[in-house]
Amino acid sequence: MDIIGPRRRATLARFTQLAAKGQGYANLCHLSLNNQINLSDIAVARIMPHLRHVERLELRGCVKVSDKTMEAVAEHCARTLRYLNVGMTGTTLAGLGCVVRYCRELETFKVAEIERYKDKMWIAMLEQAAEQASRASYETGRSSDMAASIGGGSQRRRDELATSQASPSPPPLSKLKNLKLHGTNISNAGLKAFLRLCGQTLERLDISRTKVTRLQPIINHCITILPAPSEAVVVRSNLEKLNISFVFFHLQDLEILLNHLSNATTLPSSAASTSQTYPLTSSPKFHTLLAGRLEINKERRLLDNSALDQLVPSLAQLTHLRRLSLYANDHLGGKPEDGAVWRLLRRMRGSLRVLDLSRTNVRERNLAGLVEAREKLVTPDKVEEPLQFTRNEVLEDLDISFTAVDDD
């Protein structure tokens, strides 16, 4: 259900009325209220008791939505909720802490552009939520043992405790696959605190426009490196997509990360907390790298041709990379025409389906790396210098907006 437009108040009120009467929406699994800037926190919170089966809840841009809604989500939707987007809302860390503590089935958690808090506050929230969850699990187990030993309490309470003990809740964020921290003030320590909870299962991570300056937490928590009898190491990771646009870090960190991802095999989610041996997936999952306008090394210079040249070998090893964005790295391209961009495209043309080079300095001849020299095609205007091209049947989406590419 997607509520948009001028009918939002009437629709929302009617929604609550019908739900309260036990009519309609009983099996609603997806509710999107994105950008409903006039919806109050109380109005949205009142809906939650009626969303007993909701799996996907989108509240992005609901600027008045805050902690009452988060508390209601934690109380009424925790067992079924898999996807929650609260980016650009008015929720505080107290409200987010309730969600982290109680919504243990979350697979997607988006908190983009919640800018009011720095690392220490995020870390405190995560640690407190994890500690409270751990204490609650301990108390539940203790109460269950006590009830069983003395036969006390109502039959309903004993049944609840038995059910809880038979299927204990997973630790907070331990099932998370998609984490979006875009536009927050989280830096290295805050990222580490998040990844400590969810790193092994994570498939998609967005740290664009954050204060992160090191990629080492990703290497430490999202990638498992194990010794193997027949090889030097076995690298396992579930990462599929990484957005590091508009951040500052050391180029060597990115090289190391890409090298690990190029060799990674899939780590089954059931293996995250065990030391057992699992069959390896034959190919890496990593398919998308968004690296728009990067600042690198101590001098914080923009990614340029010399830096890209250093990355070409690591990027070229990502044989399953399907999408690459170098958006707004405006020091890339230009002359020499057979420089870093040309070499990168020449080595990756067999896998890339989506390529974003918009707002860079690429020229027409830089893009020649996308086609392979197999058949001679004589160009009408340069008969004396025949160019060799072949059709690229892999690339599906090319963005070269706001570049120097012309018809010369």
SS (H, E, C) 129-169: HHHHHHHHHHHHHHHHHHHHHHCCCCHHHHHHHHHHHHCCC
pLDDT at 199: 83
Q: How far is CA 154 from CA 136, 140, 158, 160, in A?
A: 20, 15, 6, 10
The string over 161-197, giving b where at least 16 C-beta atoms fall within 10 Å of a residue's C-beta and e elsewhere, is: beebbeeebeebbbbbbbbbbbbbbbbbbbbbbbbbb
The pLDDT of residue 13 is 59
DSSP string, 367-407: GGGGS-S-EEE--TT-TTS-EEE----S--EEE-TTSS---
Residues 6+ apart with CB under 8 A from 317: 258, 259, 262, 263
Dihedral angle computed from the Cα positions of residues 160, 126, 178 and 75, in that order, rounded to the nearest 10 degrees: 30
Q: From first to last of the 408 residues of the chain, give the pLDDT tens digit.
A: 554 443 344 456 565 665 555 555 668 899 999 999 999 999 999 999 988 899 999 999 999 999 999 999 999 999 999 999 999 999 999 999 999 999 999 999 999 999 999 999 999 999 999 998 877 664 544 444 434 444 444 454 444 444 444 456 789 999 999 999 999 999 999 999 999 999 889 999 999 999 999 999 999 999 988 776 655 567 889 999 999 999 999 999 999 999 999 877 755 544 444 444 444 444 578 999 999 999 998 888 999 999 999 999 999 999 999 999 999 999 999 877 778 999 999 999 999 999 999 999 999 889 988 985 654 444 444 444 545 666 778 999 999 999 988 766
For β-strands 234-237 and 248-249, DSSP reports them as unpaired
The structure's pTM equals 0.84
The percent of the chain in helix, strand and coil, each rounded to the nearest 5, is 35, 15, 50
How far is residue 92's CA from residue 36's CA, in Å, rounded to a whole number? 18
Burial class (CB in 10 A: 0-12, 13-18, 19+), 382: exposed
φ/ψ (deg, to 5) at 178: -135, 115
Q: Are 31 and 54 in contact (CB under 8 A)?
A: yes
Question: Which residues, other chains included, contact 227 with Cβ-Cβ below 8 Å and sequence gap of 6+?
Answer: 233, 234
Q: Which residues contact 113 (CB under 8 A, 6 or more apart)?
A: 87, 88, 182, 183, 184
> How far, in Å, CA of 334 to CA of 360, rounded?
9
With contact defined as beta carbons under 8 Å apart, do 323 and 353 qualify?
A: yes
Q: Which residue has the tokens 């030391």?
A: 275
Question: Beta strands of 94-233 (E only): which ranges?
Answer: 108-110, 178-180, 204-206, 223-226
Q: Given this model, what pLDDT does residue 157 score? A: 44
